[in-house]
Each structure stands twice: as C-alpha cells, then as structure tokens.
Amino acid sequence: MNLSDVEARLGRDRTVLLTLLVLSLLASLCWAGLVLGGLVLSSQPLAEATATAVTAAAAANGPATGAATTAPSLAYQAAQLALVFLTWAGLCTALMLPLASRATVLFARLAGDRAAQRARRCTALFVLGYLGAWTGFALLAAIAQWTLHESAPSGAVRHPLLLGLIMVAAGVYQWTPAKHACLEHCRAPLPGILAGWRDGLAGALGRGAAHARQCLGCCWLLMLLLLATGPDNPAAIAVVGLFVLAEIRLASGHLIACAGGLALLAMGTRLLFP
C-alpha cells in the first residue's frame, strides 16, 4: 500500500468519524429540545385559559376591543402550531437519525472511494436529504395533531374511534409486503444505496431523500401512534423507539414486526368495540 492509498484511507476514516460525531450531536440536541418542548407544552393549559379569559373580557367590553385582540389571538395560535411542529421535527430527528447511522456511514465510505475531496459535503447532503423528508412528515403530523387535539396538556388526541382506526391500520400494515420491503431496506441499506447511485452533490441529496422514503414506509404509522399521547411523552417515545430499534437491529426483526402488528390490531379493536 503506497502513501497515497494510506492518505486516502485516513481521509475516509476521518469523514466517517466526523459523520458519527455530527449525528450524535444532532440527536443529542434534539433530545434536549424534546425535553424543553415538553416543559413548555405542559404549561399550555394555563396560557390557553388566560387567552380564553382575555377573549371573553374583550367580547364583553364591545366589538372594538374584541377586534383589537383578534391579531394577538391569531399570533398566539401560530406560535403554538410552530412549537408543535418543532417538537415533532425534534422527535423525528432524535428517533430516526441514529437509526440511519449505518446507511450514513456506508454512504460516507462509498463517497470517499469515488470522490474523496467531496466526501464530507456529499455525506452532509445525504443527511440533509434524509432529514428533509422526515421534516415534511413532521409538518403533516403537527397539523394533524393541532387539528384533532382537545387542548390536553400534552396536545394528545382524545378520539378513541380515530385512535382505534390508526392502531388497526398500523397493525395490518405490519403484515404487508410493502412494510417488510421497507424494513429490509432499513436493515440492510447498502443495496438500496448502490441501486440508485448518482455521483455529485445532487445525487447525494437524492440518495438521502430516497433512504428516508424507505424509512418512512417502514415507520410512518408507528410514529402516528404518538398522536395518542403527544410527541413529548417520554414513555410513549421510548416504547415506539425501542420497538422500531428492535425491528431494524435484531435478527428476528421481521417476526417482531408481525408480533407487534397483532398487538396493535388487538388494542385497536378493543378501542373500536369496547
């Protein structure tokens, strides 16, 4: 092995190490954001009660005062929706980014083999494409939660029929070929990364988004189960996170997915037919 080969190998190893450090830092920051978001969301009932009292007082004082409070009320709602979105985005990043570490490291090594001088930028764009797809999912989930919740302290959805339908759908989906195809991609991402490989920065961004689509296909209904508790409930996050981790990392992941599907189907049926 000549000197140039050794330097190229060291460059690839530095890229992989830097990638792992950045992923760990991002995940840690998002977990810290989830804790902070939970503390802020837990204070919402008092703020909502205050806003309701102010609105009622304005209505009693006359239309002029009521009109003056319309803009602050809309601003308050927009701020709360933004907070819910940030909580969902932090949740998706904290849960899914560590699970994408294997695919990211594989991509970093491949990018280093093909273009060592651009390996770090390509890897960063791969992660950005991955997070971009999950951010879109977080926005949709935040809108759904904001629309359906009943002012619970955690923003939880309190519609047993809807939650039962989500559980039944998630349970059935755990047995479908689409679920297991996406799960296999997450368990062994190398063939999927190589299949659509394109050199360049745009190709890296597209590969990250494509990998995220497979992960979404595997986990999106499981993530929507958090509508039942709100995205800042640590116990629910732990249950969903450990289940997804077991599916992807354990040797019997496909069997675990099917067993979880049966459990979700049973719980959803119990909610639909109490």
Q: What is the pLDDT of residues 115-142, one digit of tens each?
A: 656 777 888 889 899 989 999 999 999 8
> Does residue 169 register a pLDDT over 60?
yes
Residue among 197, 74, 223, 245 at smallest CA distance from 136: 223
- Find the mean pLDDT for residues 245-249: 91
Torsion of CA 194, 199, 202, 208, to 10 degrees: 20
Mean pLDDT of 138-153: 75
Centre a 10 Å sphere on the Cβ of residue 194 and count the other Cβ atoms it contains: 12
Residue 64: per-residue pLDDT:
47
Sequence letter at residue 114: R
199 dihedral zone (left: phi>0; alpha: psi -120 to 50; beta): beta
For 56, 99, 247, 258, the CA distances from 253, given in Å and listed in that order, are: 54, 14, 4, 9
Q: What is the pLDDT of residue 164?
A: 87
- Per-residue pLDDT, averaged over 263-270, amounts to 92
Q: Tell me, what's the pLDDT at 115?
A: 62
- Which is more confidently placed, 41 or 253? 253
Look at residue 5 in the predicted model and tell me its pLDDT: 46
E strands, the chain, are none
Between CA 190 and CA 188 the distance in angstroms is: 6
Answer whether residue 181 shows pLDDT above 80: yes
Identify the band that residue 21 occupies on the pLDDT scale cut at 50, 70 and 90.
low
Mean pLDDT of 231-259: 88
Q: Return d(Cα 249, Cα 41) in angstroms, integer.
A: 33
Q: Is the dihedral of CA 32, 38, 41, 46 positive or negative?
A: negative
pTM attached to this predicted model: 0.76
Instruction: Name the band, by pLDDT with cuts 50, 70 and 90, for residue 97.
Output: confident
CB 51 within 8 A of CB 73: yes
**Confidence check: pLDDT of 107 > 60:** yes
Report the pLDDT value the prediction gives residue 168, as an integer from 0 to 100.
93
pLDDT above 90: residue 25: no
Q: Which of 94, 92, 122, 84 has its CA nearest to residue 106?
A: 122
